[in-house]
Structure 1
Amino acid sequence: MEYDPEDLRRLAVKIAGEAAGLLRDIACTGTATRRIKGETFAADVKSESYILDALRHEGVRARVVTEESGVVDMGDDLIALVDPLDGSRNYTNCIPWSSVSIAFAPKGARDISEVIAGAVAPIFYGDPVSFSDNACYIGGSRVEPPGESERFIYVYVEHPEAARLLSDAIVIMGRGFKVRSLGSAALEVTWVGIGRGRAFLDLRPKIRNIDIAAGLGVVRVMGGTYLGPGGERPRIGVDGIERIGTIAVFSRDVPREVIEELSRGPLSSAGQGSPPASTG
């Protein structure tokens, strides 16, 4: 069965938005914050269950790659990458910065660049950001690529050497940049795409494809780019949950020399020896 990307965008907005509303309704309650195991809380499971049921109800035939269940076989027409609760540590501590994201790729897709539609829905405030083809929307309004982005750099870093190299790179970028680490990679990557940030840098080998699949789709259609440690666009699979390693995401207005400097320094040197873990 053929799926129209615009129909998939609307579906992603609908389901992600409904799941975000469900999580908003139970936020800061024992119903949501009960720990199931490890980094998994009751809210993660509840949101994922809702999304899977909603996809079935809509008749979507897809291989669903999702945080808690891994891969759920619901057909072979599409691949759906789902993060039912990105920023779960924020959410379970009543910090209002977390999100739900859903992205769709066609059958047979091998790389995250082949994602054709998706949405990231903030749980606590703000409209979903979504994309399909070459268009991006905030709520129901189409938005144009940003002329100039806010001078925020969203950063995740753990190792002292990576932090030092990052500091040097920010100096090269010039005055006026503000560093933030807010706790929901899906939202922060999306914010870079729509111009509410200049760059997203995860300098730990922890982030996964499901965390940022929809956000990278927004970045791509808005003219941004993303790089791996070698300074080139990395291959990121979509067939199962995959850890990406260090990654840098940039809005369209970042000079090439800045990208090259970051790829020589923080990206290539970051995260050595870090154990895999959830971004929660």
Structure 2
Amino acid sequence: MENIDRGLLEEALIASATRAITYLRSTYVSREPAGIGKSGDLSREFDVVVEDLIFKTLREYFGEIRLVSEERGIVGRGSLMAIIDPVDGSVNFEAGLPIASVSIGIARNSKQVRVGDIEAAVVAEVFRDVVYFYDKLRGFKALGMKAKRKYPPSNIVLGYFESVESFRPYIRLPEITNFKPKLRSLGSAALDIVYVSLGIALGFIDARAKLRNVDIAPSIAIANSLGAKAYLCNGENAVDIAIDDIEKIECLVVGYDDEIARALLKAVSSERILGY
């Protein structure tokens, strides 16, 4: 990124995530409702506080910056933009289940910004001292653990399966592919996608039409850099998802590699063709 120190970019993202997680682990966290966020979901006070902490920290490093976020929608302006999910897995966090993350991506601010334009991204685990960081020029690294891409990937498919319709693609997998995976639902899409890219699972499916681009954009940038592939269920490459405004994601599959991703896509598409 022109005129930006890559070290400063990394420092800013990790500092933002670290401050957010420090608050989430503190005794000051409020779980009270804070209204309906711009994404249309119920916001808790911890969502709003974390988003404000991230925005404030990024402004300390970069000055004016445009924010596209789960809670406030689009605010600010500047040559850079940040796409943020302050607490991905907020239902887990509220319940005390230890799977949640803070997700931030940085790109140049323009009219048609896409996931593939993300210059740097961070996904930080709330309940473990582990941070996954990506820089378009410097590549991927994990802080707090030795992260090596596993091969072959674990025979697990992650996702959200809250209805019969969203569960059917998983049932179809053994019928139309050679996969007979185990099923797990963790509750943090950003972490699910990073885990797939590291081979902790072989794939991720979400056919609920509840995800938004702010939920998954930074993690897809990370996953793509590691060789994982993500597709919308219409076949569009997920790196082409627009991120300059909040958008709903109707259906998403992520595979450890392109072959797996296309097999998952085939399972989901077959259900849609059958009219389920």
Q: What is aligned with 1:43?
A: 46
Secondary structure, in 3 states, of the residue corresponding to 2:128? coil
Which residue among 68, 72, 93 is the counterpart of 2:71?
Answer: 68
- Name the amino acid aligned to 2:22: G
- Report if the CA contact (8 A) 1:148-1:253 is conserved: no
- 5+ long unaligned stretches in structure 2: 37-41
Q: What is aligned with 1:114?
A: 117
Q: What is aligned with 2:127?
A: 124
| Mapped pair 1:247 → 2:252 | yes
| Mapped pair 1:193 → 2:194 | no
Q: What is aligned with 1:88?
A: 90
What is the deviation of 1:65?
0.7
What is the deviation of 1:146?
3.7
Secondary structure, in 3 states, of the residue corresponding to 1:83? strand
TM-superposition CA deviations, 1:125-175 (whole Å, max 9, x none): 141111112611110778554432222211213442442332111454446
Moved more, 138-147 or 77-86: 138-147
- Report if the CA contact (8 A) 2:173-2:179 is conserved: no
Aligned partners of 1:270 and 1:190: how far apart in 2? 31
Aligned partners of 1:55 and 1:8: how far apart in 2? 9
What is the deviation of 1:97?
0.8
Q: What is aligned with 1:202?
A: 206
| Mapped pair 1:77 → 2:79 | yes
What is the deviation of 1:8?
2.0
Q: What is aligned with 1:18?
A: 19
CA RMSD of aligned residues (A): 2.6
| Mapped pair 1:151 → 2:155 | yes
What is the deviation of 1:99?
0.9
Which residue among 247, 254, 258 is the counterpart of 2:263?
Answer: 258
Change (3 A) 1:213 1:148: same
Aligned partners of 1:77 and 1:25: how far apart in 2? 33
Aligned partners of 1:49 and 1:198: how far apart in 2? 35
Change (3 A) 1:52 1:130: same
- Name the amino acid aligned to 2:32: R
- Name the amino acid aligned to 1:246: C
Q: TM-score, normalised by structure 2?
A: 0.86
Q: What is aligned with 1:177?
A: 181
Moved more, 166-175 or 105-114: 166-175
Q: Identity percentage over the alignment? A: 27
- Name the amino acid aligned to 2:155: R
What is the deviation of 1:178?
1.5
Q: What is aligned with 2:10?
A: 9
Aligned partners of 2:216 and 2:149: how far apart in 1? 19
Matches within 5 A, 1:263-278: 263-266=268-271, 268=272
TM-superposition CA deviations, 1:218-268 (whole Å, max 9, x none): 1110011111122231541111111121010111274476245225324x4
Moved more, 11-20 or 113-122: 11-20
- Report if the CA contact (8 A) 2:59-2:65 is conserved: no
Aligned partners of 1:59 and 1:162: how far apart in 2? 41
Moved more, 201-210 or 105-114: 105-114
- Name the amino acid aligned to 1:24: R
Per chain length, whose mean CA-contact separation is higher, i.e. which structure has more relative contact order (CA < 8 Å, sep 6+)? 1
